């Protein structure tokens, strides 16, 4: 059968299957609100204590990968894998890990975690801590001493990190800011005061007022449109309209668009999770797997300011604050273009009760005016051909707001098989108040740059680690480094003196798979060594990095021990269900013991087996005045592009026009 015909049949089949399908269920589907409620009730019944139980994570306890894969291949012929929930709670000063069987309404296991580190903070305890601080009499007095109105003071909780202490309590530090004329309190830090709150006891356990620094002015910091005196007209008339009916379908959590299908779910810890991404191959007449699972596994944001109130600002946003918990509702026609389709997400509050985040995802088709492929042919005498296929892609977006910073997390699926992953950084930089009104007044190291009057933007990094469990046409994969090497011409082999050759090497173990990227003279790819094209090439995908950044902290520094995944851009490990987060499961006050860098030290074999790519996307940020008072988006990312995955260009037969034109 020729491939265009196969493709037609595929779409026919696909259409019928969507039209007749009522299997909205997938074993990876996130817990529903009623399952979350059920989990809460089972856990509370099990603990059965007069003491407070606080929930820090509830999510699906996923069936084993092989069970999911069997289910997918057999579908209705196989019994549905049982639904189980995984919960992390605090009770009586201890962290419990509970697995709950929802069919039997019973707790299957209850493990008390005794290692270092604490679970993700929940919103309620942070709010309580802030309230404690703002009503704490010494703090009230400190504000009065500075002539600040206490009702205009807003406080934020800061994780305290770990700096070699032997013992630790579950504490956070509270730092305060000033509103009084602006919503943008981040630009008005109140320096010199630290309130320490014990979260288990929920009381103030430390207070220090060290120094008075004038609060930077409110003028010019407001970004809320309705509060601006006279926002200017942009003279842009451009308006884009998508057809009312999107050309993708949502079948439960499964998205189908063009030749792609994938499962999209919201998780309270990880946020946006892409699973089971596979692409239809008309030559093979079926879907072929690419990515079993992808999500941001950790975010490491160390600031470079050694001041007493600043040195511990080395945030692990995902583990400490929760990427899912901090994901917000998207604003239609602002966060996503007109015509986008939205999905809700569910999580639980401190008491285990479900809460819905409306519009936590958007899905939209991007038509940015790019070109899928083209050629103009003038080489044939008397003829002129120009063939162009415009590019359209599908974007799945979430936006995380981690206090000051907003992260736009996009997974973009392209017709030619590429998955493009991007992170956009916007929101507010963290600033420190200082006396300076001019650069020339600065004679000491201030750990940043003057971005406004009396306002220092602190130098910092962002490292996002992406967990990418690639299953390139099956789960037994290998990691291949193709090195481009300069060769000298020998003798009179050629009038040239040099050329380069590409030599491929399969990486055997984890230690050789740790790579710091630089000026690219190698190609990194993930292949299935058991599946070859007709020409004998191993089917694969290659990694195309964007702008590359490496770490600058020393290996022995405490933040770097915890965020050691930032040392390399690329890590490859054998798949292990328990290795989910590059910075570990319990990151608040962690000591780096349960992290990617430690797991990888075992130097396991990664050849021809189920392997995981961990990609670290980094940014060094030296702030500039344009970043004040709110920062224009800065974007970074990488691509996974098919490399001998297909027998030929998979969009060769794409039509130049879309159906509805």
Residues designated as active site: 317, 405
**Binding to its own copies in span 299-328, by CB under 8 A:** 304-306, 311-312, 328
CA angle 209, 211, 214 (to 5 degrees): 115
Query: What is the smallest separation between the CB atom of 171 and its own copies, expressed in angstroms?
Result: 15
Q: According to CB under 8 A, which one of 51, 438, 443, 577 is a site residue for its own copies?
A: 438
Asked if 560 is part of the footprint of its own copies (rule: CB under 8 A), the reply reads yes
The CA-atom distances, in angstroms, between 130 and each of 156, 183, 192, 351 are 6, 17, 17, 19
The two three-digit tokens of residue 569, written as one number: 């851009």
Give the span between the Cα atoms of 347 and 334, in whole angstroms.
24
Binding mask 89-118 for its own copies (x = CB under 8 A): ------------------------------
Please identify, using beta-carbon distances, which residue of 5 and 205 lies nearer to its own copies: 5
Asked if 271 is part of the footprint of its own copies (rule: CB under 8 A), the reply reads no
Asked if 430 is part of the footprint of its own copies (rule: CB under 8 A), the reply reads no
Q: According to CB under 8 A, which one of 37, 506, 533, 608 is a site residue for its own copies?
A: 533
Instruction: Work out whether strand 203-209 and strand 248-251 pair parallel, antiparallel, or are unpaired.
Output: unpaired
Please identify, using beta-carbon distances, which residue of 507 and 553 lies nearer to its own copies: 553
Asked if 449 is part of the footprint of its own copies (rule: CB under 8 A), the reply reads yes
Please identify, using beta-carbon distances, which residue of 401 and 512 lies nearer to its own copies: 401
Query: What is the smallest separation between the CB atom of 453 and its own copies, expressed in angstroms?
Result: 7
Selected range binding its own copies among 113-121, 289-297, 417-425, 505-513, rule: CB under 8 A = 417-425
- How many residues does the structure list for the chain? 661
In degrees and rounded to multiples of 5, residue 267 shows phi and psi of: -125, 140
Query: What is the smallest separation between the CB atom of 390 and its own copies, expressed in angstroms?
Result: 6
Give the span between the Cα atoms of 93 and 610, in whole angstroms.
38
Asked if 137 is part of the footprint of its own copies (rule: CB under 8 A), the reply reads no
Asked if 558 is part of the footprint of its own copies (rule: CB under 8 A), the reply reads yes
Please identify, using beta-carbon distances, which residue of 15 and 78 lies nearer to its own copies: 15
In degrees and rounded to multiples of 5, residue 543 shows phi and psi of: -95, 125
Selected range binding its own copies among 34-42, 106-114, 372-380, 608-616, rule: CB under 8 A = 372-380
**Binding to its own copies in span 328-347, by CB under 8 A:** 328-329, 331, 333-337, 339-340
Kindly provide the residue ranges of all beta strands, DSSP E only, lying in 282-333, ordered along the sequence: 286-302, 314-316
Please identify, using beta-carbon distances, which residue of 45 and 231 lies nearer to its own copies: 231
Contacts with 163 (C-beta within 8 Å, 6 or more apart), sequence order = 311, 312, 558
Asked if 2 is part of the footprint of its own copies (rule: CB under 8 A), the reply reads yes
In degrees and rounded to multiples of 5, residue 240 shows phi and psi of: -115, 140
Give the span between the Cα atoms of 515 and 572, in whole angstroms.
9
Query: What is the smallest separation between the CB atom of 93 and its own copies, expressed in angstroms?
Result: 25
Query: What is the smallest separation between the CB atom of 363 and its own copies, expressed in angstroms?
Result: 11
Please identify, using beta-carbon distances, which residue of 211 and 224 lies nearer to its own copies: 224
Q: According to CB under 8 A, which one of 537, 591, 593, 608 is a site residue for its own copies?
A: 537
Asked whether the CA dihedral 398, 401, 405, 406 is positive or negative, the reply is positive
Q: According to CB under 8 A, which one of 51, 75, 167, 375 is a site residue for its own copies?
A: 375
* 3 state DSSP class of 325: coil
Please identify, using beta-carbon distances, which residue of 11 and 24 lies nearer to its own copies: 11
Q: According to CB under 8 A, which one of 103, 229, 435, 578 is a site residue for its own copies?
A: 229
Asked if 284 is part of the footprint of its own copies (rule: CB under 8 A), the reply reads no
* 3 state DSSP class of 418: coil
Kindly provide the residue ranges of all beta strands, DSSP E only, lying in 303-329, ordered along the sequence: 314-316
Give the span between the Cα atoms of 219 and 410, in whole angstroms.
34
Q: According to CB under 8 A, which one of 36, 102, 132, 395 is a site residue for its own copies?
A: 395
Give the span between the Cα atoms of 186 and 179, in whole angstroms.
9
Q: According to CB under 8 A, which one of 19, 75, 535, 577 is a site residue for its own copies?
A: 535
Asked if 385 is part of the footprint of its own copies (rule: CB under 8 A), the reply reads yes
Selected range binding its own copies among 45-53, 86-94, 344-352, 447-455, rule: CB under 8 A = 447-455
Count of residues interacting with its own copies (CB under 8 A): 193
Query: What is the smallest separation between the CB atom of 525 and its own copies, expressed in angstroms?
Result: 9
Give the span between the Cα atoms of 191 and 458, in whole angstroms.
14
**Binding to its own copies in span 180-199, by CB under 8 A:** 183, 185
Instruction: Work out whether strand 460-470 and strand 478-488 pair parallel, antiparallel, or are unpaired.
Output: unpaired
- Report the candidate in 121, 122, 119, 157 with the shortest Cα–Cα distance to residue 594: 119
Asked if 380 is part of the footprint of its own copies (rule: CB under 8 A), the reply reads yes
**Binding to its own copies in span 485-524, by CB under 8 A:** 485-486, 488-489, 493-502, 516-521, 523
Asked if 70 is part of the footprint of its own copies (rule: CB under 8 A), the reply reads no
Half-sphere exposure in the Cβ direction for 10 (13 Å, CA): 21
Give the span between the Cα atoms of 583 and 614, in whole angstroms.
11
* Helical (H) or strand (E) element with 126: helix 123-134
Q: According to CB under 8 A, which one of 391, 506, 508, 531 is a site residue for its own copies?
A: 391
Please identify, using beta-carbon distances, which residue of 170 and 542 lies nearer to its own copies: 542
Asked if 366 is part of the footprint of its own copies (rule: CB under 8 A), the reply reads yes
Asked whether the CA dihedral 344, 63, 400, 307 is positive or negative, the reply is positive
Q: According to CB under 8 A, which one of 232, 443, 491, 577 is a site residue for its own copies?
A: 232
Query: What is the smallest separation between the CB atom of 653 and its own copies, expressed in angstroms?
Result: 5
**DSSP code, position 336:** B
In degrees and rounded to multiples of 5, residue 447 shows phi and psi of: 65, 25
Other beta carbons less than 10 A from residue 72's beta carbon: 17
Q: Please, what is the angle between helix 137-145 and helix 123-134, to 10°?
A: 60
**Binding to its own copies in span 151-180, by CB under 8 A:** 154, 156, 163-164, 179
Give the span between the Cα atoms of 256 and 507, in whole angstroms.
34
């Amino acid at each position: 059968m020729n491939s265009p015909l196969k493709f037609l049949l595929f779409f026919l089949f696909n259409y019928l299957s969507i039209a007749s399908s009522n299997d909205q269920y997938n074993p990876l589907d996130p817990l529903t609100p009623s399952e979350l409620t059920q989990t809460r009730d089972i856990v509370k019944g099990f603990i059965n204590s007069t003491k407070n139980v606080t929930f820090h994570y509830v999510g699906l306890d996923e069936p084993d990968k092989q069970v999911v894969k069997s289910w997918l291949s057999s579908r209705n012929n196989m019994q549905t894998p049982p639904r189980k929930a995984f919960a992390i709670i605090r009770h009586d000063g201890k962290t419990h890990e509970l697995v709950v069987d929802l069919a039997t309404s019973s707790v299957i296991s209850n493990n008390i975690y005794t290692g270092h580190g604490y679970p993700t903070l929940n919103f309620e305890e942070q709010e309580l801590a802030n309230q404690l601080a703002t009503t704490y009499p010494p703090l009230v007095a400190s504000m009065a001493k500075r002539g600040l109105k206490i009702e205009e003071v807003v406080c934020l909780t800061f994780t305290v990190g770990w700096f070699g202490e032997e013992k630790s309590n579950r504490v956070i530090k509270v730092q305060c800011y000033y509103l009084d004329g602006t919503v943008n309190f981040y630009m008005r830090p109140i320096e010199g005061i630290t309130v320490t709150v014990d979260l288990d006891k929920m009381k103030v356990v430390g207070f220090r007022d060290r120094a008075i620094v004038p609060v930077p002015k409110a003028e010019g910091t407001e970004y809320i449109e309705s509060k601006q005196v006279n926002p200017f007209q942009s003279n842009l008339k451009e308006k884009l309209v998508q057809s009312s009916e999107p050309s993708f379908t949502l079948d439960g959590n499964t998205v189908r668009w063009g030749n792609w299908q994938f499962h999209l779910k919201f998780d309270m810890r990880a946020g946006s999770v892409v699973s089971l991404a596979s692409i239809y191959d008309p030559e093979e007449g079926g879907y072929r797997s690419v990515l079993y699972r992808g999500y941001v596994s950790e975010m490491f944001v160390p600031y470079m300011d050694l001041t007493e109130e600043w040195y511990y600002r080395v945030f692990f946003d995902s583990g400490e604050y929760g990427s899912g918990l901090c994901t917000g509702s998207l604003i239609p026609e602002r966060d996503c273009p007109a015509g986008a389709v939205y999905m809700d997400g569910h999580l639980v509050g401190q008491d285990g009760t479900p809460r819905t985040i409306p519009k936590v995802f958007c899905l939209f088709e991007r038509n940015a005016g790019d070109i899928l492929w083209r050629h103009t042919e003038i080489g044939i005498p008397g003829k002129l051909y120009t063939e162009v296929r415009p590019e359209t892609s599908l974007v799945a977006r979430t936006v995380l707001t981690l206090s000051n910073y907003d992260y736009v997390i996009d997974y973009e699926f392209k017709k030619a098989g590429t998955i493009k992953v991007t992170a956009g950084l916007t929101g507010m930089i963290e600033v420190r108040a200082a006396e300076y009104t001019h650069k020339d007044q600065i004679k000491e190291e201030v750990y940043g740059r003057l971005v406004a009057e009396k306002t220092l933007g602190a130098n910092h990094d962002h490292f996002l680690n992406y967990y990418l469990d690639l299953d390139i046409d099956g789960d037994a994969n290998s990691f291949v480094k193709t090195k481009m090497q300069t060769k000298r011409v020998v003798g009179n082999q050629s009038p040239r003196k040099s050329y380069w050759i590409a030599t491929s090497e399969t990486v055997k173990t984890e230690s050789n798979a740790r790579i710091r990227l630089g000026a690219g003279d190698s190609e990194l790819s993930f292949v299935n060594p058991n599946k070859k094209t007709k020409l004998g090439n191993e089917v694969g995908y290659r990694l195309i990095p964007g702008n590359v950044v490496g770490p600058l902290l020393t290996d022995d520094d405490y933040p770097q021990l915890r965020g050691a995944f930032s040392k390399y851009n690329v890590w490859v490990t054998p798949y292990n269900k328990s290795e989910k987060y590059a910075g570990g499961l319990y990151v608040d006050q962690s000591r780096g013991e349960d992290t990617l860098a430690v797991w990888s030290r075992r130097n396991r074999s990664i050849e021809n087996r189920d392997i995981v790519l961990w990609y670290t996307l980094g940014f060094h940020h030296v702030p500039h005045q344009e970043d004040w008072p709110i920062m224009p988006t800065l974007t970074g990312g990488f691509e996974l592009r098919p490399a001998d995955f297909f027998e030929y260009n998979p969009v060769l037969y794409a039509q130049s026009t879309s159906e509805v034109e």
